[in-house]
A and B are shown apart, each in its own frame.
Chain A
Amino acid sequence: MNKKLDDEYYQLLEQIQAADFVLVELTHYLDTHPTDQQALQQFNQFQLYSKQLKAVFEPKYGPLLGFGNSPGGENKWEWGQGPWPWQV
């Protein structure tokens, strides 16, 4: 049922969690500091970085985003498969 999870899964996942955390943090910051160009630049940089990390993770371990927001799944429905976040 579930894909076999190797060390790489956890390493890649943690890199994505770290990159996406920067995006969450900068989102809140920019909500109250919308004219901070340096923060905006950092946001753009991490948006690209997160996308690159997910492009490595998703072909191996399946889509991260629901409702078709992650690429792939053309020949096989992978979304409904585990592991789910509380199972790893």
Chain B
Amino acid sequence: MWVYEKKLQYPVRVSNCNPRLAKYLIEQYGGADGELAAALRYLNQRYTIPDKVIGLLTDIGTEEFAHLEMIATMVYKLTKDATPQQMVAAGLGEHYANHDGALFYQNAAGDPWTATYIQAKGDPIADLYEDIAAEEKARATYQWLIDISDDPDINDSLRFLREREIVHSMRFREAVEILKEDKGKKKFF
């Protein structure tokens, strides 16, 4: 089971109401390399991954939900004071027509999240290589978002999230080595 903690993993502050920036940040909410995809990917793969890396997939998958909440907080804070006209001007008219100010799992282009973004192959190396790639793609996305954004407060939180992708990628690479080592050992017996 999971226990909710009533705090963000890292502070999220917003300088100004900015629905256009929110529209881009949605990429990391419901996009292919976003936090929802990450959390669901790892927490689903862990059932059939070797015991030695179940803990890592569980813990990183859980942290991804904390990142999802940070992105949600950014989007919420950037749009909560926007008028319908400001939403339309920011390119969120279609979103507003369907969802008002509510969040929705979609990417920056408005495509809804889909399970086809993620894979579970049952092959530990294939799964972990996908996980490493996912972290690197998410890191790149955070960099592009930082490049677009002119909100210094949002950029502080985005930089934190970008760094987390780097650490997760490192841990997944170590997990690959642990499994390779294990496989190598078995050959001698």
Query: A29 at interface (Cβ–Cβ under 8 A)?
Result: yes
Q: A33–B73 Cα gap in the complex (Å)?
A: 33
Query: B63 at interface (Cβ–Cβ under 8 A)?
Result: yes
Beta-carbon contact of B4 and A28 below 8 Å: no
Beta-carbon contact of A28 and B168 below 8 Å: yes
CB contacts (< 8 Å) of B77 on chain A: these are: 86
Partner of B76, one of A31, A33, A86: A86
Query: Are A65 and B178 CB-contacts (below 8 A) given A21-B10, A32-B56?
Result: no
Partner of B10, one of A17, A27, A63: A17
Q: A17–B171 Cα gap in the complex (Å)?
A: 22
Query: A16 at interface (Cβ–Cβ under 8 A)?
Result: yes
Partner of A25, one of B6, B11, B167: B167
CB contacts (< 8 Å) of A21 on chain B: these are: 9-10
Q: A14–B11 Cα gap in the complex (Å)?
A: 7
Nearest chain B residue, comparing its CB with the CB of A69: B3
Q: Tally A residues with Cβ within 8 Å of B.
A: 24
Beta-carbon contact of A84 and B56 below 8 Å: no
Beta-carbon contact of A29 and B171 below 8 Å: yes
Residue with the highest number of chain A CB atoms closer than 10 Å, among B6, B53, B171, B178: B6
Query: A24 at interface (Cβ–Cβ under 8 A)?
Result: yes
Beta-carbon contact of B5 and A32 below 8 Å: no
Proximity string of chain B (1-26) to chain A, C-beta cutoff 8 Å, 1 when within and 0 when not: 00111111111100000000000000
Nearest chain A residue, comparing its CB with the CB of B75: A86
Proximity string of chain B (55-90) to chain A, C-beta cutoff 8 Å, 1 when within and 0 when not: 110011001000001001100110000000000000
Query: A55 at interface (Cβ–Cβ under 8 A)?
Result: no
Nearest chain A residue, comparing its CB with the CB of B10: A17
Query: B145 at interface (Cβ–Cβ under 8 A)?
Result: no
Query: B94 at interface (Cβ–Cβ under 8 A)?
Result: no
Nearest chain B residue, comparing its CB with the CB of A32: B174
Proximity string of chain A (53-88) to chain B, C-beta cutoff 8 Å, 1 when within and 0 when not: 000000000111111010000000000000011100
By a beta-carbon cutoff of 8 Å, the part of chain A in contact with chain B is 13-14, 16-17, 20-21, 24-25, 27-29, 31-33, 62-67, 69, 84-86
By a beta-carbon cutoff of 8 Å, the part of chain B in contact with chain A is 3-12, 53, 55-56, 59-60, 63, 69, 72-73, 76-77, 167-168, 171, 174-175, 178
List 24 A–B pairs whose Cβ atoms lie within 8 Å, in order of A's numbering: A13-B7, A14-B11, A24-B9, A25-B167, A27-B59, A28-B171, A32-B56, A32-B171, A32-B178, A33-B174, A62-B6, A63-B6, A64-B6, A65-B4, A66-B5, A67-B4, A69-B3, A85-B7, A85-B8, A85-B73, A86-B8, A86-B12, A86-B72, A86-B76
